[in-house]
Amino acid sequence: MAVEILKEKYRSQVREVVLGATSAEGGTRSHTIKVGGEAALPFLHFEGETPNRPVVAMEVWDIVPEDWPASLKAYFEDVYHDPAAWAKKCVEVYGADLIALRFKSADPDIKDSSAEDCIATLKKVLAAVGVPLIVYGCGKADKDNTIMGPLAEAAEGENLLLGVAEAENYKAVASAAMAYKHSIIAQSPIDINIAKQLNILISEMSTPLLDRIVIDPTIAALGYGLEYSYSIMERARFGALNGDRMLAMPMIGNVGNEVWVKKEASISAEEQPGWGDQAERSMAWEATTAMALLQAGMDILVMRHPRAVELIKEAIDDLMQDNSY
Partner 1 sequence: MIIIGERINGMFRDIANAIRERNPGPVQEWARKQEAMGAGYLDLNVGPAVADRVSAMKWLVEVTQEVTKLPLCLDSTDYDAIEAGLEVCKNPAMINSVPAVQEKMDRVFAMAAKYGAEVIGLAMNEAGIPKDAESRVALAMELVANCDAHGIPLDKLYIDPLALPANVGQAHGPEVFETLRQIKLLSDPPPKTTVGLSNISQGTKNRELLNRTFAVMAMACGLDSAICDACDEELVAAIATARILLNMDIYCDSYVDVFKNQNK
User: CA-to-CA distance for 101 and 62, rounded, in angstroms?
Assistant: 7
Stretch in the footprint of partner 1 (CB under 8 A) among 136-144, 188-196, 272-280, 287-295 = 188-196
Q: Count CB atoms within 10 A of the CB of residue 237.
A: 23
Contact indicator for 90, 96 with CB cutoff of 8 Å: yes
Q: Which is nearer to partner 1, 160 or 165 (CB)?
A: 165
| Paired sense of beta strands 55-61 and 98-102, if any | parallel
Q: How far apart are CA 95 and CA 56, in angstroms?
A: 9
> Considering beta carbons, is residue 13 or 278 the nearer one to partner 1?
13
Nearer Cβ to partner 1 (168/322): 168
Ordered alpha helix ranges (H), the chain: 70-73, 83-92, 115-128, 141-154, 171-180, 192-205, 226-241, 255-259, 263-266, 278-296, 306-319
For partner 1, the binding residues in 198-217 under the rule CB under 8 A are: 200, 207
- Binding-site size for partner 1 (CB under 8 A) equals 15
Mark 226-265 with x for binding to partner 1 (rule: CB under 8 A) and - for no binding. Answer: ---------xx--x---xxxxx------------------
Q: How far is CA 67 from the centre of its chain?
A: 21
- With CB under 8 A as the contact rule, the residue among 88, 181, 196, 212 that binds partner 1 is 196
Q: Rule CB under 8 A: is residue 293 a binding residue for partner 1?
A: no
| Out of 197, 206, 268, 295, the residue judged to bind partner 1 by CB under 8 A | 197
- 7 binds partner 1, rule: CB under 8 A: no
> What phi-psi label fits residue 152: left (phi over 0), alpha (psi between -120 and 50 degrees) or beta?
alpha
Binding site for partner 1 (CB under 8 A): 192-194, 196-197, 200, 207, 235-236, 239, 243-247
